[in-house]
């Protein structure tokens, strides 16, 4: 006799045994109340799950691709893909909450998440966010490591704090966000978009930021020392008190940026554009050959060589 999936869930809940290989693909599942269950290699492709609670559950190598999840709670949930990946590809989350979640080897590619909360602490390791869209999502203290962020779009979202390490984020879209005090280590953020974002006191030291977009961003007291920011756009950015020591910013655009108390010792600013930049002092910069300077900066730059 073949048991229906909900009966299997109920029996597993009573026995405490893991749920292995259960196929819930395409099913409508409402008002589930599940606690401390292990889901191993389960299939939820195209499932619709709503108004449900999954407390202290482990989802291991499960496939949620194209699933729709609305108004669910995954408190202290663990989503781990030790053999393949937990797959959220093309899934949709709306009004879901995660309290202290752990995501390891999870594929969020092309996932859409709206109006959701990842709780006071969240950890992401070895995840893929390629082309995912997170809108009006609230993050607390967030750690992301060893992950791919390329073309990940974050809209109207907030972070309590963000620590990013060993990750690749080409064209990461993080415009108009509050990222005060964020820390990024050993990351490639080529072409990332931080327009209008608040990166006050952020640590972006030694990062690859080639062609990144920081127009009108607040980088006051941020650390960009040693970063590779060739052709990056800093138009109108606030770089007051920023550490730009040994920054490589050849062909970068700093027009209308504010530099009061910024440190530029050893920076390579070859052919950078400083048109209408404010409070710019390039006397400690290593290279300003071919740069477009304000009259004030030109008077100060002792090694300036015109085109």
Residue 292 belongs to domain with CATH number: 2.160.20.80
Beta bridge partners of 68: 48, 92
Q: Tell whether 299 is covered by a domain.
A: yes
Rounded CA-CA distance 246/201 in Å is: 18
Asked, for residue 54, whether it belongs to a domain, the answer is no
286 is a domain residue: yes
Query: How far, in Å, are 10, 74, 87, 123, 289 from residue 117 at the CA level?
Result: 28, 10, 20, 13, 49
Instruction: Say if 123 falls within a structural domain.
Output: no
How far apart are the C-alpha atoms of 195 and 172, rounded to whole Å?
Answer: 11
Total domains present in the chain:
1
| 258 within some domain | yes
What local confidence, expressed as pLDDT, does residue 302 receive? 47
- Mean pLDDT by runs of 10 across the 307 residues of the chain is 74 89 94 94 97 96 97 96 88 96 96 97 96 97 97 96 96 95 97 97 97 98 98 98 97 96 94 94 79 59 43
pTM of the model: 0.90
Domain-embedded: residue 32: no
Cα radius of gyration rounded to whole Å, the chain: 24
Of the candidates 38, 46, 48, 44, the one whose C-alpha atom is nearest the C-alpha of residue 17 is 38
| 10: three-class secondary structure by DSSP | helix
CB 218 within 8 A of CB 240: no
Q: Tell whether 102 is covered by a domain.
A: no
- Looking at the domain assignment, is residue 130 inside a domain? no
* Both structure tokens of 240: 């007051």
Lookup: tokens for 65: 């691709």
Full residue range of the structural domain in which residue 220 is found: 169-307
């Amino acid at each position: 006799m073949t048991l229906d999936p909900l009966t299997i869930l109920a029996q597993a809940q009573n026995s405490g045994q893991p749920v292995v290989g259960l196929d819930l693909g395409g099913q409508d599942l409402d008002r589930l109340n599940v606690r401390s269950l292990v889901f191993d290699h389960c299939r939820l492709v195209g499932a619709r799950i709503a108004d449900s609670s999954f407390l202290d559950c482990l989802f291991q190598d499960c496939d949620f691709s194209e699933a729709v999840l609305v108004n669910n709670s995954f408190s202290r949930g663990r989503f781990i893909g030790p053999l393949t990946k937990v797959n959220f590809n093309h899934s949709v989350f709306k009004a879901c909450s995660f309290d202290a979640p752990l995501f390891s080897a999870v594929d969020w590619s092309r996932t859409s998440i709206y109006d959701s909360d990842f709780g006071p602490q969240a950890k992401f390791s070895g995840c893929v966010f390629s082309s995912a869209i997170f809108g009006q999502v609230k993050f607390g203290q967030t750690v992301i490591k060893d992950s791919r962020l390329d073309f990940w779009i974050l809209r109207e979202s907030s972070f309590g704090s963000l620590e990013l390490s060993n990750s690749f984020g080409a064209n990461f879209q993080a415009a108009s966000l509050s990222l005060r005090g964020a820390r990024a280590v050993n990351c490639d953020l080529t072409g990332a978009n931080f327009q209008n974002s608040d990166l006050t006191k952020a640590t972006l030291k030694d990062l690859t930021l080639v062609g990144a977009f920081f127009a009108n961003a607040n980088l006051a007291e941020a650390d960009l020392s040693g970063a590779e920011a060739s052709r990056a756009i800093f138009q109108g950015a606030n770089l007051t008190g920023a550490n730009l020591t040994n920054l490589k910013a050849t062909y970068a655009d700093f027009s209308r940026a504010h530099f009061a108390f910024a440190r530029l010792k050893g920076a390579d600013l070859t052919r950078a554009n400083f048109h209408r930049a404010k409070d710019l002092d390039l006397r400690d910069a290593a290279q300003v050959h071919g740069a477009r300077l304000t009259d004030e900066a030109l008077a100060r730059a002792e090694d300036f060589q015109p085109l």
